[in-house]
Chain A
Amino acid sequence: MYAALWRILPGPTWVRILQLVALGVVVLISAHLWLFPFIASLVDSGDTGAVNTG
């Protein structure tokens, strides 16, 4: 999987490394801003009707 990604990326090694770092940053930011909050909303117990919070 990662080997295939490495092969797909264009340019010399240092350009590929830069692209991987940029890709990693984009994935991390996306996860923190959208993916993890979405997962957290699914994980929430949603214990309404009782004494709320978690």
Chain B
Amino acid sequence: MLGVTAEILVTAGVGVLLYVFWFAVVNPAVVGAGQTATAAQQSRLYSDRLSHAEATPSATPLATATAAPIDVPVAVPVLAEPGRIAAPIAVMYVPRFGADWKRIVRQSTETQVLNSATAGVGHYTGTAMPGGIGNFAIAAHDTGYGNTFLGVGTLKVADRIYLQTDSGWYTYEFRNFQYVQPNAIDVLNAVPTVTTTGTTDRIITLTTCNPPYHSRERMIAYGTFVEFSTAAPTELAPALAQGN
């Protein structure tokens, strides 16, 4: 009887170790590879659509932001927020996270988006869309499920964050971090942590758990809008030349 109990305990111990190995190594690798492949596919789709739209300019009418800051001379197209959960919004590139790093940003921050092998980054419903005035707020896991935002803490001031959409490329620049409690939803405000409705700023907010493998607090990375272009950023040329 003692021998059987010992065998069950040893088996359970091995099972726990296997689960930890799966969660920390296997799952991030498998899900991350899926997220990268799907993002590459979506990126090619956006590129094809953009080429087609440029060939036929009237094919894709876009809404434009009603007020532009002084330092943004051209009208920035802003796509309508999708109503369907997991609808693709953009393909996100952050060179600081790695030359090959890319993820699809999908609508909603439900687990079906954040844990998905075809997504990884979720857009907080109701916040601004890429290039829109206000706060384009997104979330992803730091560890597990592709380790999507594990590199957020490595961002340096002025690092570029690119968003590729049907209409072109939106470029943001990282500015600063903030560490908050998990219930600090005011970081999603149009002006983060400030209660106001009037703003002309275009902000991006990346949220993820902190520290890695724990969810005691949230790491928030803020960036500001730099420019919109229909041409792919030169910084991404090597990655894009390799077929995404």
Contact = CB atoms under 8 A, between A and B. Distances in A.
Interface of A: 1-2, 28, 31-32, 36-37, 39-41, 44-54
A17 to B, nearest CB: 18
A2 B10 CA distance: 11
Main secondary structure on B side of the interface with A: mixed
B7 A47 contact: no
B141 A54 contact: yes
B7 to A, nearest CB: 4
Most central of A1, A2, A48, A53 by chain B CB within 10 Å: A53
Most central of A28, A41, A51 by chain B CB within 10 Å: A51
Contacts of B18: 28, 31, 36
A51 B19 contact: no
Contact of B4 (A1, A36, A45, A46): A1
B31 to A, nearest CB: 10
Interface of B: 4, 7-8, 11, 15, 18-19, 22-23, 26-27, 109-111, 114-115, 122, 124, 139-144, 149, 180, 182-185, 187-188, 207-209, 215, 218, 220
Q: Which 5 A-B pairs have the closest CB atoms?
A: A52-B109, A50-B182, A54-B215, A1-B7, A50-B183
B209 A54 contact: yes
B209 to A, nearest CB: 5
A52 B149 CA distance: 13
Contact of A46 (B111, B122, B184, B218): B111
Nearest to B180: A51
